[in-house]
Protein backbone atom coordinates (compact mmCIF):
# COMPACT_ATOMS: atom_id res chain seq x y z
CA UNK A 1 0.00 0.00 0.00
CA UNK A 2 1.29 3.43 -0.93
CA UNK A 3 1.93 5.58 2.14
CA UNK A 4 2.35 9.35 2.20
CA UNK A 5 3.37 11.64 5.04
CA UNK A 6 2.18 15.25 5.11
CA UNK A 7 4.00 17.88 7.15
CA UNK A 8 1.77 20.78 8.31
CA UNK A 9 4.11 23.67 9.06
CA UNK A 10 3.02 26.05 11.88
CA UNK A 11 -0.59 24.77 11.90
CA UNK A 12 -1.62 27.12 14.73
CA UNK A 13 0.48 30.16 13.79
CA UNK A 14 0.00 30.23 10.00
CA UNK A 15 -3.57 29.35 9.23
CA UNK A 16 -6.01 31.95 7.94
CA UNK A 17 -8.82 31.95 5.34
CA UNK A 18 -9.25 28.18 5.75
CA UNK A 19 -5.70 27.27 4.67
CA UNK A 20 -5.88 24.22 6.98
CA UNK A 21 -8.25 22.81 4.32
CA UNK A 22 -5.30 22.16 1.99
CA UNK A 23 -3.94 19.51 4.36
CA UNK A 24 -7.39 17.93 4.79
CA UNK A 25 -7.93 17.91 1.03
CA UNK A 26 -4.60 16.17 0.27
CA UNK A 27 -5.30 13.64 3.01
CA UNK A 28 -8.82 12.82 1.83
CA UNK A 29 -8.02 12.68 -1.89
CA UNK A 30 -5.12 10.31 -1.15
CA UNK A 31 -7.17 8.08 1.18
CA UNK A 32 -9.99 7.88 -1.41
CA UNK A 33 -7.38 6.18 -3.60
CA UNK A 34 -6.37 3.72 -0.92
CA UNK A 35 -3.19 5.63 -0.05
CA UNK A 36 -2.37 5.60 3.69
CA UNK A 37 -1.68 9.11 5.00
CA UNK A 38 -0.03 10.39 8.18
CA UNK A 39 0.00 14.08 9.11
CA UNK A 40 2.81 15.61 11.19
CA UNK A 41 2.50 19.02 12.82
CA UNK A 42 5.80 20.85 12.34
CA UNK A 43 6.67 23.69 14.69
CA UNK A 44 9.56 24.67 16.90
CA UNK A 45 8.23 22.77 19.92
CA UNK A 46 8.64 19.48 18.09
CA UNK A 47 11.66 17.16 18.00
CA UNK A 48 12.16 16.83 14.24
CA UNK A 49 14.78 14.07 14.34
CA UNK A 50 13.73 11.19 12.11
CA UNK A 51 10.59 12.99 10.94
CA UNK A 52 10.11 12.32 7.23
CA UNK A 53 7.53 14.08 5.07
CA UNK A 54 6.56 13.73 1.39
CA UNK A 55 4.46 16.89 1.26
CA UNK A 56 5.01 20.10 3.27
CA UNK A 57 2.15 22.60 3.57
CA UNK A 58 2.10 26.07 5.14
CA UNK A 59 -0.70 28.62 5.27
CA UNK A 60 -0.97 32.40 5.60
CA UNK A 61 -0.71 34.70 8.60
CA UNK A 62 -0.73 38.33 9.67
CA UNK A 63 2.53 40.25 10.00
CA UNK A 64 2.77 39.49 13.74
CA UNK A 65 2.51 35.73 13.21
CA UNK A 66 4.97 35.90 10.33
CA UNK A 67 7.58 37.47 12.60
CA UNK A 68 7.15 34.60 15.09
CA UNK A 69 7.31 32.03 12.29
CA UNK A 70 10.40 33.67 10.81
CA UNK A 71 12.16 33.46 14.19
CA UNK A 72 11.37 29.74 14.29
CA UNK A 73 12.65 29.33 10.72
CA UNK A 74 16.07 30.62 11.84
CA UNK A 75 16.46 27.37 13.86
CA UNK A 76 15.77 23.63 13.48
CA UNK A 77 12.47 24.14 11.67
CA UNK A 78 14.23 26.18 8.97
CA UNK A 79 16.85 23.45 8.51
CA UNK A 80 14.07 20.89 8.25
CA UNK A 81 12.24 22.87 5.54
CA UNK A 82 15.40 23.55 3.54
CA UNK A 83 16.43 19.89 3.77
CA UNK A 84 12.98 18.88 2.61
CA UNK A 85 13.18 21.23 -0.36
CA UNK A 86 16.65 19.95 -1.30
CA UNK A 87 15.20 16.42 -1.24
CA UNK A 88 12.34 17.30 -3.62
CA UNK A 89 9.62 17.17 -1.03
CA UNK A 90 6.45 18.59 -2.62
CA UNK A 91 5.76 21.97 -1.02
CA UNK A 92 2.75 24.29 -1.05
CA UNK A 93 3.12 27.67 0.67
CA UNK A 94 0.20 30.10 0.79
CA UNK A 95 0.34 33.90 1.20
CA UNK A 96 2.19 34.78 4.44
CA UNK A 97 3.83 31.33 4.36
CA UNK A 98 4.71 31.89 0.70
CA UNK A 99 6.26 35.27 1.54
CA UNK A 100 8.46 33.57 4.19
CA UNK A 101 9.78 31.12 1.59
CA UNK A 102 11.29 34.13 -0.22
CA UNK A 103 14.43 36.02 0.80
CA UNK A 104 12.63 38.63 2.95
CA UNK A 105 9.30 40.25 3.79
CA UNK A 106 9.29 43.94 4.71
CA UNK A 107 6.08 44.32 6.73
CA UNK A 108 3.56 47.16 6.95
CA UNK A 109 5.73 48.97 9.54
CA UNK A 110 8.90 48.60 7.47
CA UNK A 111 10.29 45.82 9.64
CA UNK A 112 12.48 43.39 7.65
CA UNK A 113 11.40 39.79 8.33
CA UNK A 114 13.95 37.25 7.01
CA UNK A 115 12.69 34.36 4.88
CA UNK A 116 14.26 31.02 3.89
CA UNK A 117 15.19 32.06 0.35
CA UNK A 118 13.76 28.94 -1.27
CA UNK A 119 12.14 31.22 -3.82
CA UNK A 120 14.32 33.92 -5.37
CA UNK A 121 11.93 36.74 -4.50
CA UNK A 122 11.20 39.45 -1.97
CA UNK A 123 7.96 40.94 -0.66
CA UNK A 124 7.53 44.58 0.30
CA UNK A 125 4.45 45.90 2.07
CA UNK A 126 3.83 49.41 0.64
CA UNK A 127 2.27 50.58 3.92
CA UNK A 128 -1.24 50.67 5.32
CA UNK A 129 -2.16 53.73 3.24
CA UNK A 130 -2.15 51.50 0.14
CA UNK A 131 -5.26 49.33 -0.40
CA UNK A 132 -4.75 45.62 0.33
CA UNK A 133 -5.15 43.14 -2.53
CA UNK A 134 -8.49 41.58 -1.53
CA UNK A 135 -11.01 39.51 -3.48
CA UNK A 136 -11.59 36.54 -5.74
CA UNK A 137 -8.68 35.61 -7.97
CA UNK A 138 -8.33 33.44 -11.09
CA UNK A 139 -4.97 32.48 -12.59
CA UNK A 140 -3.81 30.52 -15.64
CA UNK A 141 -1.08 27.95 -14.90
CA UNK A 142 0.59 25.06 -16.70
CA UNK A 143 -1.82 22.86 -14.74
CA UNK A 144 -4.91 24.80 -15.89
CA UNK A 145 -6.89 27.57 -14.23
CA UNK A 146 -6.81 27.95 -10.46
CA UNK A 147 -9.40 29.90 -8.48
CA UNK A 148 -9.25 31.27 -4.96
CA UNK A 149 -9.41 34.28 -2.65
CA UNK A 150 -6.58 36.70 -1.91
CA UNK A 151 -6.08 39.13 0.99
CA UNK A 152 -2.59 40.58 1.35
CA UNK A 153 -0.81 43.89 1.69
CA UNK A 154 2.62 42.66 0.71
CA UNK A 155 3.70 42.90 -2.92
CA UNK A 156 6.02 40.18 -4.22
CA UNK A 157 8.76 40.61 -6.83
CA UNK A 158 10.29 37.51 -8.41
CA UNK A 159 14.01 37.33 -9.16
CA UNK A 160 15.48 35.68 -12.27
CA UNK A 161 15.72 32.09 -11.02
CA UNK A 162 12.12 31.60 -9.89
CA UNK A 163 9.19 31.19 -12.24
CA UNK A 164 5.70 32.45 -11.44
CA UNK A 165 3.07 29.80 -10.70
CA UNK A 166 0.74 31.50 -13.12
CA UNK A 167 -0.63 34.54 -14.90
CA UNK A 168 -3.38 36.63 -13.32
CA UNK A 169 -6.72 36.59 -15.19
CA UNK A 170 -8.80 38.15 -12.38
CA UNK A 171 -7.44 39.82 -9.21
CA UNK A 172 -4.07 41.26 -8.11
CA UNK A 173 -1.59 38.41 -7.69
CA UNK A 174 2.04 39.12 -6.72
CA UNK A 175 2.10 42.89 -7.20
CA UNK A 176 0.46 45.80 -8.97
CA UNK A 177 3.19 45.95 -11.62
CA UNK A 178 3.18 42.63 -13.56
CA UNK A 179 0.49 39.93 -13.93
CA UNK A 180 2.46 37.19 -12.24
CA UNK A 181 1.03 35.10 -9.46
CA UNK A 182 2.86 32.91 -7.02
CA UNK A 183 6.12 31.12 -7.62
CA UNK A 184 7.40 27.66 -8.44
CA UNK A 185 10.78 25.99 -8.42
CA UNK A 186 11.36 22.22 -8.64
CA UNK A 187 8.54 20.67 -6.58
CA UNK A 188 7.90 23.78 -4.49
CA UNK A 189 4.86 25.97 -5.15
CA UNK A 190 3.88 29.31 -3.63
CA UNK A 191 0.67 31.26 -4.14
CA UNK A 192 -1.55 34.02 -2.76
CA UNK A 193 -4.64 31.84 -3.30
CA UNK A 194 -6.50 31.14 -0.05
CA UNK A 195 -9.97 29.74 0.20
CA UNK A 196 -8.67 27.07 0.84
CA UNK A 197 -6.98 26.55 -2.53
CA UNK A 198 -7.02 22.76 -3.08
CA UNK A 199 -10.68 21.72 -2.44
CA UNK A 200 -11.83 24.06 -5.26
CA UNK A 201 -8.93 23.02 -7.55
CA UNK A 202 -8.93 19.20 -7.51
CA UNK A 203 -6.66 19.01 -10.58
CA UNK A 204 -3.93 20.88 -8.69
CA UNK A 205 -4.42 18.84 -5.51
CA UNK A 206 -3.98 15.68 -7.59
CA UNK A 207 -0.90 17.13 -9.27
CA UNK A 208 0.75 17.51 -5.84
CA UNK A 209 -0.29 14.01 -4.71
CA UNK A 210 0.89 12.54 -8.02
CA UNK A 211 4.30 14.24 -7.65
CA UNK A 212 4.71 12.83 -4.14
CA UNK A 213 3.78 9.30 -5.24
CA UNK A 214 6.44 9.38 -7.97
CA UNK A 215 9.12 9.26 -5.27
CA UNK A 216 7.98 5.73 -4.38
CA UNK A 217 6.61 4.46 -7.68
CA UNK A 218 7.61 6.31 -10.85
CA UNK A 219 4.69 6.19 -13.26
CA UNK A 220 2.17 5.70 -10.46
CA UNK A 221 -1.24 6.85 -11.71
CA UNK A 222 -4.02 8.24 -9.51
CA UNK A 223 -7.45 6.75 -10.14
CA UNK A 224 -10.23 9.15 -11.15
CA UNK A 225 -12.56 10.54 -8.47
CA UNK A 226 -16.07 11.93 -8.85
CA UNK A 227 -15.27 15.66 -8.54
CA UNK A 228 -18.69 17.05 -9.39
CA UNK A 229 -18.91 19.06 -6.16
CA UNK A 230 -15.35 20.33 -6.47
CA UNK A 231 -15.92 21.59 -10.03
CA UNK A 232 -19.21 23.11 -8.97
CA UNK A 233 -17.33 25.16 -6.34
CA UNK A 234 -14.56 25.97 -8.85
CA UNK A 235 -17.03 27.14 -11.50
CA UNK A 236 -18.89 29.12 -8.87
CA UNK A 237 -15.81 31.29 -8.33
CA UNK A 238 -15.33 31.64 -12.10
CA UNK A 239 -18.97 32.77 -12.39
CA UNK A 240 -18.79 35.43 -9.68
CA UNK A 241 -15.48 36.57 -11.14
CA UNK A 242 -17.09 37.02 -14.55
CA UNK A 243 -14.86 34.31 -16.05
CA UNK A 244 -17.30 31.47 -16.66
CA UNK A 245 -17.22 30.57 -20.36
N1 LIG B 1 0.69 39.57 6.32
C2 LIG B 1 0.90 39.34 4.94
C3 LIG B 1 0.38 40.48 4.05
O4 LIG B 1 -0.39 41.20 4.44
C5 LIG B 1 0.25 38.02 4.52
C6 LIG B 1 -1.23 38.02 4.69
C7 LIG B 1 -1.86 36.64 4.47
O8 LIG B 1 -1.27 35.58 4.72
N9 LIG B 1 -3.11 36.62 4.03
O10 LIG B 1 0.74 40.55 2.94
Annotated active-site residue 194? The verdict is yes
Tens digits of residue pLDDT in 234-245: 999 999 999 875
What is the mean pLDDT of the segment spanning 66-94? Answer: 96
pTM of the model: 0.97
Q: What's residue 176's pLDDT?
A: 84
CATH code of the domain covering residue 48: 3.40.50.880
Annotated active-site residue 95? The verdict is yes
Closest approach atom of ligand 1 to CA 125: 10
Tens digits of residue pLDDT in 166-211: 999 999 999 988 999 999 999 999 999 999 999 999 999 999 999 9
C-alpha span between 99 and 86 (Å, rounded): 19
Q: How confident is the model at residue 45 (pLDDT cuts 50, 70, 90)?
A: confident
**In this structure, is residue 245 part of a structural domain?**
no
- CA of 218 from ligand 1 middle (Å) equals 37
Q: Encode burial over 212-242: b for 16+ CB neighbours within 10 A, e otherwise.
A: bbeeeeeeeebeeeeeeebeebbeebbeebe
**In this structure, is residue 206 part of a structural domain?**
yes
**In this structure, is residue 66 part of a structural domain?**
yes
CA-wise closest residue to 185 among 162, 208, 166, 207: 162
What is the mean pLDDT of the segment spanning 152-170? Answer: 97
The active-site residue, picked from 194, 207, 213, 234, is 194
Instruction: Report whether residue 195 contacts ligand 1, using a CB cutoff of 6 Å.
Output: no
Instruction: Report whether residue 172 contacts ligand 1, using a CB cutoff of 6 Å.
Output: no
Give the number of domains in the chain.
1
pLDDT over 70 percentage in the chain:
100
**CB-based contacts of 174, cutoff 8 Å, min separation 6:** 155, 156, 157, 158, 164, 180, 181, 182, 192
What is the mean pLDDT of the segment spanning 121-144? Answer: 97
Amino acid sequence: MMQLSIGHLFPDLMNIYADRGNVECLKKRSEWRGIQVSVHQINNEMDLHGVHVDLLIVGGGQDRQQLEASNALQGAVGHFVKHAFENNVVMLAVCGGFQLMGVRYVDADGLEIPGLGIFDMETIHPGRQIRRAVGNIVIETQKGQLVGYENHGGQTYLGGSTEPLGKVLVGHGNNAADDTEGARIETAYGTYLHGSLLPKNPHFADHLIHLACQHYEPGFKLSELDDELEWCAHNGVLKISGRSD
